[in-house]
């Protein structure tokens, strides 16, 4: 896939301006784009808190249709939210980190103008990420649908009781499990909730899905990695509490006995742009604290 920077004329701005630093960065980018003769466009939710005079505003779910590039300012959660709205338009997305970790929003605020100019001149790395789609079926009827860039999580809500479910992959029975739930993760989500559950880190280029049990009753239950084309089905059995499911940490949906979850790869991919120098392993070292002890010892030796 090739993206020409000459097409970057209409630039979408998106964020969740819940703190002053996000608003400041959105204003900085907005004014810089105008100075370059480009056309910034805000989604309606962002525009409510960052009002610019004479700036075009459209619905968040239509933003990808009218712009050539979207800049998301905030944390990874902001980009997850943007991904679900933009993915069907194949609009490239650039993330500016104003959150905590920043695996997806990888541009540092102090470098935003320099890095943005690099991207607008065509200096960027292309990164395609797949999403998962979820269907809840009750008596063979689809009653709920959602998409997720990170993960789909079956869990027991606020209850301390384990839940009982049955897992099938590509029509083959895998196991019946008692646990706190199951995390079904993309490679993108493997460094998020799935990692805290003991799951493997998957390189973003892999066409694979990780299934990570949450506090399983049996010690032999371990994460499973399957191909990205796999069809995953989870059958809900009778439980003392109502199990729930959530896509990318959105509001959870309750499940009933006999309901089934159907999870597969979403037909559209998210197109991320990274400025020159992006390195997934460097991101892991920085965000996950790899080499921390070694680097500290090295600094002591140098002094």
- Would you name the residues annotated as active-site residues? 76
Residue 193 known to bind ligand: yes
Residue 105 known to bind ligand: no
Are 257 and 239 in contact by the 8 Å Cβ rule? The answer is: yes
Residue 189 known to bind ligand: no
Furthest CA-CA distance within the chain: 69
Structure tokens at 109: 């605020």
Structure tokens at 30: 């907005």
Tally of CA atoms within 13 A in the half-sphere of 256 that contains its CB: 5
d(CA 188, CA 78): 15
Q: Strand 151-155 and strand 244-247: pairing?
A: antiparallel
Residue 77 known to bind ligand: yes
Residue 291 known to bind ligand: no
Q: Determine the length of the chain.
A: 303
Residue 215 known to bind ligand: no
Residue 151 known to bind ligand: yes
**Whose structure tokens read 């905590």?**
100
Residue 81 known to bind ligand: yes
Neighbours of 158 (CB within 10 A): 8
Distances (CA, A) of 94 to 48, 83, 105, 165, 242: 22, 11, 7, 39, 39
d(CA 145, CA 119): 35
Residue 299 known to bind ligand: no
Residue 293 known to bind ligand: no
User: Phi, psi (5° rounding) for residue 101?
Assistant: -85, -65
Residue 180 known to bind ligand: yes
Q: Could you tell me how many helices (H) and strands (E) the chain has, helices first?
A: 8, 17
Distances (CA, A) of 186 to 103, 106, 193, 253: 14, 19, 11, 20
Binding-site residues for NAD(+), in ranges, read: 76-77, 81, 150-151, 161, 178, 180, 191-196, 250
Binding-site residues, in ranges, read: 76-77, 81, 150-151, 161, 178, 180, 191-196, 250
């Amino acid at each position: 896939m090739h993206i020409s920077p000459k097409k970057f004329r209409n630039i979408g701005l998106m964020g969740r301006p819940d703190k002053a630093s996000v608003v400041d960065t959105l204003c900085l980018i907005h004014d810089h784009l105008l100075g370059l003769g480009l056309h910034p466009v805000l989604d309606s939710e962002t525009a409510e808190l960052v009002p610019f005079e004479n700036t075009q505003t459209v619905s968040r779910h239509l933003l990808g249709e009218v712009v050539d590039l979207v800049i998301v300012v905030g944390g990874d959660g902001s980009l997850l939210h943007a991904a679900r709205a933009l993915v069907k338009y194949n609009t490239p997305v650039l993330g500016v980190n104003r959150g905590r970790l920043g695996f997806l929003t990888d541009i540092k605020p102090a470098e935003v103008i320099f890095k943005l100019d690099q991207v607008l001149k065509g200096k960027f790395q292309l990164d395609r990420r797949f999403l998962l789609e979820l269907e809840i079926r009750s008596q063979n009827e689809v009653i709920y649908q959602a998409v997720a860039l990170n993960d789909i999580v079956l869990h027991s809500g606020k209850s301390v009781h384990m839940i009982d479910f049955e897992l099938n992959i590509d029509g083959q029975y895998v196991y019946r499990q008692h646990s706190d739930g199951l995390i079904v993760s993309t490679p993108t989500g493997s460094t998020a909730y799935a990692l805290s559950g003991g799951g493997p880190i998957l390189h973003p280029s892999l066409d694979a899905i990780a299934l990570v049990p949450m506090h399983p009753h049996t010690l032999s239950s371990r994460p499973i990695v399957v191909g990205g084309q796999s069809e995953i089905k989870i059958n809900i059995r009778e439980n003392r509490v109502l199990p729930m499911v959530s896509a990318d940490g959105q509001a959870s949906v309750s499940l009933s006995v006999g309901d089934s979850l159907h999870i597969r790869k979403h037909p559209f991919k998210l197109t991320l742009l990274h400025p020159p120098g992006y390195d997934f392993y460097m991101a892991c070292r920085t965000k996950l604290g790899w080499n921390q002890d070694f680097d500290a010892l090295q600094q002591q030796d140098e002094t």
